[in-house]
Amino acid sequence: MEYRKIDKLNVSPSLLGFGCMRFPEKNGKIDEALSSQMIKIAIDGGVNYFDSAYVYHGGKSEEFTGSVLGGYPRDSFYMATKLPTWAVKSLDDAQRIFGEQLSRLNMDYIDFYLLHALDKKKWANMRDLNIEKWGEELKRTGKIKYFGFSFHDDFECFEKIITAREWDFCQIQLNYMDIDENQGGLAAYRLCEKLGVPVIIMEPVKGGSLAKLPENLEKLFTAVNPEASPASWAIRWVGGLPGVKVILSGMSKAEQVYENLKTCGELKPLSDEEMSVVEKVRTERVKRVYNGCTGCNYCMPCPAGVNIPWNFTIWNNYGIYENRASANWDWGIISEGEKALNCNECGACEEQCPQKIAVREDLKKVQKQLDALKKKEGA
Ligand SMILES: NC(=O)c1ccc[n+]([C@@H]2O[C@H](COP(=O)([O-])OP(=O)(O)OC[C@H]3O[C@@H](n4cnc5c(N)ncnc54)[C@H](OP(=O)(O)O)[C@@H]3O)[C@@H](O)[C@H]2O)c1
């Protein structure tokens, strides 16, 4: 296993970190036998970083992960978990949840503690509560070792958060598709490098979407390296960035653990030739979007309450990745009131759209296609 020392924290996490969000399940619950086995394979292969959260697996991830890790010396691994920022309305809430997390994990302290999924709104709320001071106090009393955040918003927001204080680390979504500023992307990574903030990566394989490619694109990879899987290309791409200290993967099968251990054993950054192949794959995939929505929000607010950019993001992602499970998941999360079907065809959005998208027509297609997909899943 490759270990990338973080000098300023004096820690050496394994490059491959175990994401405790996608354990295999049986009858809607964590398949504990298989998941324990996967954790053991990972530890035997040198993994020492585990990333959970209060909400993963319906709140069961921390308890399960803690129960397996309880069989190992506490100083032989790093435990990371996250405060559900959206559920915290007061410092009492934060304190109560933190206490619950320690007891679920059955641990006296947490190594890496994160404010979960910060965006503009959640960060504003956290600041109002002066959560930084609370985090510092947890550090001072030894309840946590390092204080950081995970992030889902655009680069402008990222810049504000990362420069607001001295963070020990941060967790960002980065893979060879998500390089643009709408998730922080490479700009966020570079800023961390400049500021000396260690970076933990989530979604290196884009939640599984980069593990399966259409045949014509997979051929581009296999022509250069017939043995390597698309997932290993994605992991090597992100691992080629020196400021990346841990690559989290939410592995759902034992074979994935074995393969990712191999990829991160001694990670070989992509060669220039391989980088140009990835660029080709990326360009081809991006072409598969259904429309050119860039998420600029000029169309918002919609008088009928439709969240136009979100509808298009789900639809376009389905076009690019053809990942049915992921599209259905997203279509399940967006509220009924924000869905395309509420469009009353007033056309105000089309006057504002810089991309000149036929918003009204496309919204009809979104609703039809994503509803049909959902039906197929239910059938
Ligand atoms: N803080 C946050 O807001 C946040 C958000 C997202 C994630 N996270 C954390 O980051 C971790 C990593 O994110 P992620 O789980 O989305 O990582 P990921 O590696 O991008 O996606 C994991 C999925 O990729 C596929 N995969 C991984 N390795 C593979 C391999 N060798 N071969 C084939 N397929 C492979 C599997 O898909 P299949 O299951 O379909 O086979 C697996 O479930 C999470 O587990 C979680 O701990 C945090």
Kindly report which listed range (81-85, 231-235, 291-295, 331-335) carries the lowest average pLDDT score. 291-295
pLDDT of 296 over the 70 cut:
no
Q: How far is the CA of 358 from the centre of ligand 1 (A)?
A: 34
Q: Give the residue, by CA position, lying nearest to ligand 1 atom 5.
A: 202
Quote the pTM value: 0.87
- CATH among 3.20.20.100, 3.40.50.720, 3.10.105.10, 3.30.2270.10 for 16-279: 3.20.20.100
Question: d(Cα 293, Cα 354) in Å, to the nearest integer?
Answer: 9
| Cα-to-centroid distance, 123 and ligand 1 (Å) | 25
User: What local confidence, expressed as pLDDT, does residue 154 receive?
Assistant: 85
Q: Is the pLDDT of residue 378 over 70?
A: no
Is residue 321 within 8 A of residue 206, CB to CB? The reply is yes
Can you give the pLDDT at residue 209? 79
The residues spanned by each domain of the chain are: 16-279, 308-378
Q: For the residues 283-302, what does the mean pLDDT come to?
A: 81
Confidence of residue 363 (pLDDT cuts 50, 70, 90): very high
Ligand 1 atom 21, closest CA: 207
The binding-site residues of ligand 1, defined as CB within 6 angstroms of any ligand atom, are: 19-22, 51, 116-117, 150, 152, 171, 202-208, 211, 229, 231, 248-252, 256, 259-260
To test ligand 1's pocket by mutation, which of 16, 31, 41, 205 has the most ligand atoms within 8 angstroms of CB?
205
- Tell me the pLDDT tens digit for each residue of 57-92: 989 999 999 999 999 999 999 999 999 999 999 999
Distance CA 54, CA 293 (A): 33
Confidence grade of residue 148 (pLDDT, cut at 50, 70, 90): very high
**Neighbour count for residue 282 (Cβ, 10 Å):** 18
Strand segments (E) across the chain: 16-19, 25-26, 29-30, 49-51, 78-83, 110-118, 144-151, 169-173, 199-202, 244-249
* Mean pLDDT score, 269-278: 94
Candidate from 251, 253, 326 with most ligand 1 atoms within 8 A of CB, to mutate? 251
- Which is the closest atom of ligand 1 to the Cα of 209? 24
Q: Give the per-residue pLDDT at 355.
A: 72
What is the percentage of the chain residues whose pLDDT exceeds 70? 98
> In this predicted structure, what is the pLDDT of residue 293?
72
Atom number in ligand 1 closest to CA 152:
3
Q: What is the pLDDT of residues 24-41, one digit of tens each?
A: 999 889 999 999 999 999
The predicted pLDDT at position 180 comes to: 80
Average pLDDT for the chain: 93
Probe ligand 1: pick from 38, 202, 206, 260, max atoms within 8 Å of CB? 202
Residue 214 — very low, low, confident or very high, per pLDDT cuts 50/70/90? Answer: confident
